[in-house]
Amino acid sequence: MARPARRYPYTRNQKIKISQQDAGRKLRISGKCLYSCISDIQNYKKMKKLVLAFALLGGIFNLSAQEEEKEQKQGWTKEGNISLLFNQSAFNEEWTGGGTSNLSGNLLFDYNFNYLKDDFTWDNRLLVDYGITKQRSDEFARKTSDRLEFNSIAGKQLQDSNWFYSLFLNFRTQITKGYKFGEDAETGETTRTEYTNFLSPAYLQFGPGMMWKKSENFYVNIAPATGRMVFVDKDFTSGPGYVDGDYFGVDANKAMRFELGASVSGYAKFEVIENVTMENLLNLYSNYLEDPQNVDIDYTMNMKMKINDYLSTNLIFQAIYDDNAVQGFQIREVFGLGITYGF
């Protein structure tokens, strides 16, 4: 008796079609998994940003809470610090790994004298920051920082709030001559040309505004009608071929430039962890009379890591943008071991 023909549930063509469908289904499933993974990663990154943002806000509110607990003293309060930072690298003649011996130092003088009487507050600060470095292979010593600055802001409290009617003044310049360095085409030696000097340039800003102040360590001042004067040595603007505005925006044969604009300044000082404090200063300025979209920026961060009453490690970072001086950001960073004396 003949055996009946074996029946297969699918033909060859049906098998291929079903296999393709299975592959497509698996591919869609894999795609969904991949999309889900990518979404999870994106959500994780967003979550990290949110966590960091909330952490930052939490730190600010924590700072505010800490400051609320401190009752400010009436009358004058005075506080000062002197810090001397050192940094050194030394290599002998037999050293084959490369490098240049250098020695650098930075002197920082910071003095605050503030006044409080009922609803009137007056904060003053004098800052001197000067640093120099010398490399063994370089003929000239070079400045790493040079800043002389005085800030003063007075405020009259607006009822029982953190807002004040304010009047501020800011003056800053440098102490010693500044140079542009180059190289002699024939001899290859380093050359330098004087570019700045004491009071050249010097900046004076002043104006009324409104200040939000939580404490002496946390405030923001907004001054929409700020006068600004830029002073320079006339010798730098009276040379042959000088073009108006080339030297810090000052016109030819002039020694001063006047601007009218808006100023926003902020100050925040807080303790990151025990014995580590961070101080932040931010100044923004926009000139109504010329290119108001080009906002001048001056940001300084000073982190102090205390070792004991006399030794500390300091990290100073500063970023400046002023299109009348340089078409780009000016960046400096100083890190070193320092001797500190408070008074």
**One-letter-per-residue 3-state SS of the chain:** CCCCCCCCCCCHHHHHHHHHHHHHHHHHHHHHHHHHHHHHHHHHHHHHHHHHHHHHHHHHHHHHHHHHHCCCCCEEEEEEEEEEEEEEECCCCCCCCCCCCEEEEEEEEEEEEEEEECCEEEEEEEEEEEEEEEECCCCCCEEEEEEEEEEEEEEEECCCCCEEEEEEEEEEECCCCEEEEEECCCCCCEEEEEEEECCECEEEEEEEEEEEEEECCEEEEEEEEEEEEEECCHHHCCCCCCCCCCECCECCCCCEEEEEEEEEEEEEEEEEECCEEEEEEEEEEEECCCCCCCCEEEEEEEEEEECCCCEEEEEEEEEEECCCCCCCEEEEEEEEEEEEEEC
Q: pLDDT: is 13 or 301 the higher one?
A: 301
Q: What is the pLDDT of residues 140-156, one digit of tens each?
A: 888 988 999 999 999 99
Backbone φ, ψ for residue 89 (5° rounding): -135, 135
Banded pLDDT at 37 (limits 50, 70, 90) = very low
The CATH T-level fold of domain 74-342 is: Outer membrane phospholipase (ompla); Chain C (2.40.230)
Burial (0-12, 13-18, 19+ Cβ within 10 Å), 91: middle
Nearest to 249 by CA among 218, 290, 211, 212: 290
Buried b (16+ CB within 10 A) or exposed e, 292-316: eeebbebbbebbbbeeeeeebebeb
What residues does each domain of the chain span? 20-69, 74-342
Cα 138 to chain centroid distance, Å, stands at: 29
Beta bridge partners of 208: 167
Nearest Cα neighbor of 336 from 304, 309, 308 is 304
Segment 120-133 mean pLDDT: 94
Q: How far is CA 283 from CA 1, 56, 126, 127, 197, in A?
A: 104, 20, 16, 15, 23
The 10s digit of each residue's pLDDT in 165-194 is 999 999 999 999 999 888 888 887 888 999
What is the average per-residue pLDDT within 326-330?
A: 84
In this model, does residue 54 exceed pLDDT 80?
A: no
pLDDT higher than threshold 90 for residue 127: yes
What would the pLDDT profile of 243-256 be if each residue is shown by its tens digit?
998 999 999 999 99
Taking 90 as the threshold, does the pLDDT of residue 229 lie above it? yes
| Higher local confidence (pLDDT), 187 or 98 | 187
Instruction: Flag whether pLDDT at 53 surpasses 60.
Output: no
Question: Which pLDDT belongs to residue 71?
Answer: 66
Per the prediction, the chain carries an average pLDDT of 81
Report residue 100's pLDDT band, with 50, 70 and 90 as the boundaries. Answer: confident
With cut-offs at 50, 70 and 90, classify the pLDDT of residue 126: very high
| Cβ–Cβ under 8 Å, residues 165 and 221 | no
